[in-house]
Chain A
Amino acid sequence: MKIYAYGVIDSNCRIEDSSKGIEGGRIYNIPYRDIGIAVSDLDGRYQKNINPDHVLEHERVAEKLMESFAVLPMRFFTIFKDKEEILSMMSEYYDSFNENLNRLRGKLEFGLKVIWSGDVIKKRIAENNAGKGQSKLLSNGSPARNYIMEKFEKYKMNRQFEKEGHRDISAIDEFFSGFAVEKKLDTLKSDKLLLTASYLVEKAKQDDFKQAFERLKKSGPDGLKYLFSGPWPPYNFINLTKPEFKKA
């Protein structure tokens, strides 16, 4: 019998909740000092049965825990072989878990993805640049020089593309600046995906944050498509320090 872990919580008490977890296992708390880890038992069949419903189950449990505790959600399908292994992990990371629980208590995560017309913008920049001619390099017919000229044109185009992208990203981020305590912005992952952002927001400010998104949709930069999600447990804001690195 293995143990499936959902998240570290800021309580060593019994979980008063009858809801079930992955494969119908009862959720319970394994206490360690003043904190604990919410888990359920898992029989040997799970490996053959992993499916998208399990992801939703995991998320549902993490969110349910979030209602009553500060939670450090575990990555999907974190499995321990027995209670001893869990306690050993809790002992090793206790200080780091505590620091994170204190920092993230009362806070939630929101996600934002933004798509822009990267292909159209690149085309427009290329057309504009083509009209301007070569300012830095002149061809002398050599393949090596032509190669550098071609690369330089691409370089200039990408630089302009990134500049325009970051201008929009700053404008978007400005809408949320007063409502988030921490943020992580992943920019231009592809030509189309302009921004993948995670914002850490105090529970008390979540409505303000949602309203900021509504304002962004109405008066943000033109031509953007948004995917807004949350509140989630703070998956992207857990900063675990490995004990051996901490001592160094």
Chain B
Amino acid sequence: MNKKVKTDSPDVFIEEIEKIQEAIPKRIDANPQNVEKGLAKLVLTLVELIRKLLEKQAMRRVDGGSLTDEEIEKVGETLMKLENKMKELKEVFGLKDEELNINLGPLGDLM
């Protein structure tokens, strides 16, 4: 550790930073050997973003009490099916939850 870095808990920080960096690659890996997985990762990341937005919007409406019982059923079923389908697709392409993200350079991470 050089003298410009001060911390009482270096191990804790190293572990956490490594964990975050490993999860989010800087570039989309699209070489001929695994182009399918690279593309799936990109597409599933975008689907996951939309799924999370839908879920958040639904939660806001539940919180605000603006959904009828029938709407809650419908939204619940839709979100549940979407989540299950995502689980299937992640398994097919061997992707983990934390891999579904894109580093947008100076803008930070997508999610």
A interface residues (Cβ-Cβ under 8 A, vs B):
113, 115, 136-137, 140, 142-148, 151-152, 155-156, 186, 189-190, 192-193, 213, 225-232
Contacts and interface: CB of A to CB of B under 8 A. Distances in A.
B73 A136 contact: no
B104 interface: no
A40 B59 CA distance: 56
A225 B55 contact: no
A147 B79 contact: yes
Interface of B is mostly: helix
Interface residues of B, number: 31
Contacts of A113: 13, 17
B110 to A, nearest CB: 13
B35 interface: no
A-B pairs with the 8 shortest C-beta distances?
A144-B76, A227-B7, A155-B59, A148-B76, A144-B77, A229-B5, A225-B9, A147-B80
Contact of A226 (B8, B19, B56, B77): B8
B108 interface: yes
Interface of B: 4-10, 12-13, 16-17, 19-20, 55-56, 58-59, 62-63, 65, 69, 72-77, 79-80, 108-109
B65 A136 contact: yes
Given A227-B7, A229-B4, A190 B16 contact: yes
Given A152-B63, A190-B19, A193-B16, A145 B9 contact: no
Contacts of B65: 136
Contacts of B69: 140
A227 B6 contact: yes
B6 A228 contact: yes
